Structure 1
């Protein structure tokens, strides 16, 4: 599956416009037809698509960090149904261009849930707005509509990592956004999407891995990262595979998944770190990590572990972090010790370390 980018934005917009241009003159004025289950009419919903596309393009291009950029679209008085489709085409092209030209590490403001998104997130959000609101308008106008399974799946794996996938992605996306029903699942009455978590450290950024990127890593790809020579290490691919299995089982907690460690000085990914699962009932959760060989011995793992531990122990649902290290792996034992972990047990193969909230 392709990562979400400018090409996917253009594909979604092209499908939207092609379908809605087929609305013949015999259909009523869009302003007099309700868009599916929304309170808006079809014309207002089409304008909303364009508004979101230009808003995402503006935020990403301008690297807005703390709030929405305060501007929007105003249509000329004489603009009709066909004219608003031209606006959607134009704003879609602007978002696609912003996504293509933004550096991989660039992030800009979006409220859900960690107050920022990268270019992949903005592309996926743009695609989601187009797919879902095209569905709403088509439902109001009585037009059949179903986007490509690949686009729907890309939105789910980029923005809904907390939602268990199903046999077909489009019905799952409709269900997850309160637009449909799925057998065995309760109706959705409130929702928002889930951009990836990014944690800063002094020389590194810990970038949360989406299921889409994890699947690529587990299958031998780079996950969309530029790796230091020798990476990703096998442990990273194993962790990515575990993430995908959790996602497919519907038990993935995105903030307690895997993070790729990206070095500030050159943008290279140098390893990964993350949680084996969500915290248990006692607030206990295990951490694991690895580094590409060429990045070892420089304190990167310690720096990343301190950042991740600090974030985790500030949460109400985490009380204790623990890690297991092979008895012969002295460098890794030094990493956990420097990060404040204390030895809590051992067997013939492993030492166990833990860090409690009150000790951090």
Structure 2
């Protein structure tokens, strides 16, 4: 970011400062990295109760027009046309070389599709999707909306006291219902591995909703806890764990490829995806558990017998595990669970091993009759 560039603010900026949030620049926005309780306390509050995150910096957009789902399938391998009204799906936006432009959420609202895009990629996404749309279908950004994430095992009880119908909502379900009297779009999803909800509201109603959720028992939480929670949950972060050079196969995101799409191969980047599925990619995203207490941060070299075999893309201390955790890419021959590795931290080779993700089991509220095939 340029030194003289002014950071944007979300509709909750005043509330963050009132609550003592320490503001930092993130994706062009002033965002709270933590509150006075601290990152570890906020992380554990989400695992044991409920935490409230401001994610209004994320992009929100509507896809309108007849044939919108088929049009979106030109740039994503997800099965959008099979998505039923009232349901949401995790999807990847791919370029012609099979690299990931972004990962996003798409919900079917019946008369339109609703998209949630990563903050740093929303302008790129809108341009890429818009370029693939036929006449009569349009993508309409919604910068007039805010987005809150209420996450944790206590989220349902808190939200159910302020909104009707949310307790019956299954994982990846979508509901339009007022929250604390404010019209809202509620999805049962999130980025922590816990049960929870994302709540989209008009910008002018965001503070009233946030205050109601906090008054009902949610703890305010910032970017620091959001990052440690998603890392323990094994969820990739765009710009660190996935980018335009990464394929869905390398990134271990093949669950997002629709079965019908893997038969037709009619999406952007299909040639690379098909080749890697058939013959295996050169590298794979894996979970990593360092031994001892020293975290391995992003860009740490991964070695084996003194030779480089990969790189850490995300690494931190995992408060729920009380131990360091990491993710990264290693050559496919060394990607099996339990493979011994060396992490080159400050000139020292620290022992580690590959491990399955998530490091902390997901606790999404699933309905046996509904197969989601997706993460939040």
TM-score by length of 1: 0.26
Greater RCO, CA 8 A, separation 6+: 2
Larger radius of gyration: 1
TM-score by length of 2: 0.25
